[in-house]
Amino acid sequence: MSLSIVMREHGGPEVLTAVETETGNPGPGQIRLRQTAVAVNFHDIYVRTGLYRTLTLPGIPGLEAVGLVTDIGPGVTRFASGDHVAYMTLGYGGYATERTLPAELAVKIADGVDDVTAASVFLKGLTAEMLACRVHPIKPGETILVHAAAGGVGNLLVQWAVKRGATVIGTAGSAEKLDFARQAGCTHVINYRTENFVDAIREITNGLGVDVAYDSVGRDTFKGSLASLAQCGHLVNFGQSSGPVDPVAPAELFARSLTLSRPNVFHYAMKDRATLEEISAALFQGFVEGWLTAPAPVQFPLADAADAHRLVESRAVSGSVVLRP
Ligand SMILES: NC(=O)c1ccc[n+]([C@@H]2O[C@H](COP(=O)([O-])OP(=O)(O)OC[C@H]3O[C@@H](n4cnc5c(N)ncnc54)[C@H](OP(=O)(O)O)[C@@H]3O)[C@@H](O)[C@H]2O)c1
């Protein structure tokens, strides 16, 4: 049996309720996990509110978690009982103490990285790698903009960009978050709730604009991000924490030869097994070598998932939030 968080309808955090569910034995190609740490992602908020209708209801939300392999299904050779693994899946089901899972979705966690840290950075770190190394491979000397730079993805993206030689301008919504973004490696920080970030960027870049703008905030920042780009600049819109973005006419891009991307980490990191292993290894290696760091995540008991959602939506968190089964 597993304690699971089930959603029967879309709505506020109160729709997340704890119930006992049956786990079952792992089938062919599957493993069973006793989960040790479950990540909360902003995606989970979109799923709960119904902005994304990708979880069939009633259903167990949660895109990713970390756990101990307790059972191996027929045909699984990649893992053994006792392995610590991380996974992400668009099949959801992460908010649970136990689950079965296709073994192909999981990777072993590197020695030296503990389960809670791994859960706090796995999907978010694979996203940072995708953004900094694949969607726009950052070159030394580039100046980039990272919105929500103190957020879960933002904190890791700033560090990855600095590692690749960029000068990073970060935005965030409070003085405390700006300090956090500076510690992650931002050379310049802007409170986009109190300052006009487009004007501030123009001043910082002597009117040139940035080479790349990484925008996960969406509705509130999208137009300003486009306006902050240098000629031939690249806007990478990878989220919509403030709401969906209005349609854009290609002519708006043509005016200054701009590029617009809207990437999904599942399409990049889960393209095939080799890519998943390569990006996961790069992420864990960053932590082992010490050029990637993450603050201890805010932790909640799994049964208090609703409170975790309230905190994430309140914009009060720097870094990540993790549920403990
Ligand atoms: N495309 C992909 O494959 C992919 C993968 C992972 C994540 N994402 C996206 O990346 C973003 C970051 O994800 P995360 O899990 O690391 O979350 P997060 O950045 O830790 O949290 C979202 C942050 O967005 C900022 N924000 C701005 N306007 C907001 C609003 N109206 N309501 C709430 N927050 C607002 C807040 O920071 P401030 O207070 O500093 O403004 C907040 O802390 C999300 O949009 C997520 O959907 C996309």
- Segment 15-37 shows an average pLDDT of 96
Q: pLDDT of 216-239, one tens digit each?
A: 999 999 999 999 999 999 999 999
Shared-domain flag, residues 204 and 300 = no
Shared-domain flag, residues 154 and 243 = yes
> Cα(284) to centroid of ligand 1, in Å?
22
Q: Residue by residue, what is the 3-state secondary structure of the chain?
A: CEEEEEECCCCCHHHEEEEEECCCCCCCCEEEEEEEEEEECHHHHHHHHCCCCCCCCCECCCCEEEEEEEEECCCCCCCCCCCEEEEECCCCCCCECEEEEEHHHEEECCCCCCHHHHHHHHHHHHHHHHHHHHHCCCCCCCEEEECCCCEHHHHHHHHHHHHCCCEEEEEECCHHHHHHHHHHCCCEEEECCCCCHHHHHHHHCCCCCEEEEEECCCCCCHHHHHHCEEEEEEEEECCCCCCCCCCCCHHHHHCCCCEEECCCHHHHHCCCHHHHHHHHHHHHHHHHHCCCCCCCCEEEEHHHHHHHHHHHHCCCCCECEEEEC
Shared-domain flag, residues 220 and 291 = no
The residue contributing the CA closest to ligand 1 atom 36 is: 315
If one residue of 47, 121, 217, 264 were mutated to test the ligand 1 pocket, choosing by the most ligand atoms within 8 A of its CB, it would be: 217
Residue 129 is assigned to a structural domain of this protein: no
Phi, psi of 3 (to 5 degrees): -85, 120
**In sequence order, what are the beta bridge partners of 65?**
38, 87
Q: Using 50, 70 and 90 to split pLDDT, how confident is the model at 274?
A: very high
Domain boundary among 263, 286, 313: 263
Domain boundary among 239, 263, 287: 263
Return the CA Rg of the chain: 20
Residue 151 domain boundaries: 139-263
Proportion of the chain above pLDDT 90, given as a percent: 99
Shared-domain flag, residues 252 and 276 = no
Q: pLDDT of 60-79, one tens digit each?
A: 999 999 999 999 999 999 99
Q: Is the confidence at residue 294, as pLDDT, over 90? A: yes
Q: What is the pLDDT of residue 1?
A: 85
> Cα(151) to centroid of ligand 1, in Å?
6
> Cα(120) to centroid of ligand 1, in Å?
14
> Cα(319) to centroid of ligand 1, in Å?
10
Residue 128 is assigned to a structural domain of this protein: no
Domain boundary among 263, 284, 314: 263
Shared-domain flag, residues 8 and 104 = yes
Residue 257 is assigned to a structural domain of this protein: yes
Shared-domain flag, residues 243 and 155 = yes
Shared-domain flag, residues 161 and 216 = yes
Q: pLDDT of 140-191, one tens digit each?
A: 999 999 999 999 999 999 999 999 999 999 999 999 999 999 999 999 999 9
Residue 133 is assigned to a structural domain of this protein: no
- Segment 34-55 shows an average pLDDT of 97
Shared-domain flag, residues 237 and 287 = no
CATH number reported for the structural domain that contains residue 289 in this entry:
3.90.180.10
Q: What is the pLDDT of residue 34?
A: 98
Shared-domain flag, residues 159 and 81 = no
Shared-domain flag, residues 158 and 233 = yes
Q: Which residues line ligand 1 (CB under 6 A)?
A: 41-43, 124, 127, 148, 150-154, 172-173, 177, 216-217, 220, 238-242, 263-265, 313, 315, 317
Chain mean pLDDT for the chain: 97
> Cα(94) to centroid of ligand 1, in Å?
19
If one residue of 197, 236, 241 were mutated to test the ligand 1 pocket, choosing by the most ligand atoms within 8 A of its CB, it would be: 241
Structural domains in the chain (count): 2
Residue 130 is assigned to a structural domain of this protein: no
Shared-domain flag, residues 205 and 243 = yes
> Cα(242) to centroid of ligand 1, in Å?
8
Q: Using 50, 70 and 90 to split pLDDT, how confident is the model at 102?
A: very high
Contacts of 240 (CB under 8 A, 6+ apart): 46, 51, 216, 217, 218, 219
Q: Is the confidence at residue 310, as pLDDT, over 90? A: yes
Shared-domain flag, residues 97 and 167 = no
Proportion of the chain above pLDDT 70, given as a percent: 100
The reported pTM is: 0.98
Of ligand 1's atoms, which has the minimum distance to the CA of residue 241?
45
If one residue of 127, 153, 311 were mutated to test the ligand 1 pocket, choosing by the most ligand atoms within 8 A of its CB, it would be: 153
Q: What is the pLDDT of residue 65?
A: 98
Pair of tokens at residue 298: 């805010």
CATH number reported for the structural domain that contains residue 174 in this entry:
3.40.50.720
Q: Using 50, 70 and 90 to split pLDDT, how confident is the model at 241?
A: very high
Q: What is the pLDDT of residue 234?
A: 98
Residue 313 is assigned to a structural domain of this protein: yes
Residue 61 is assigned to a structural domain of this protein: yes
If one residue of 38, 42, 236, 242 were mutated to test the ligand 1 pocket, choosing by the most ligand atoms within 8 A of its CB, it would be: 42
The residue contributing the CA closest to ligand 1 atom 16 is: 152
Q: What is the pLDDT of residue 10?
A: 98
Residue 127 is assigned to a structural domain of this protein: no
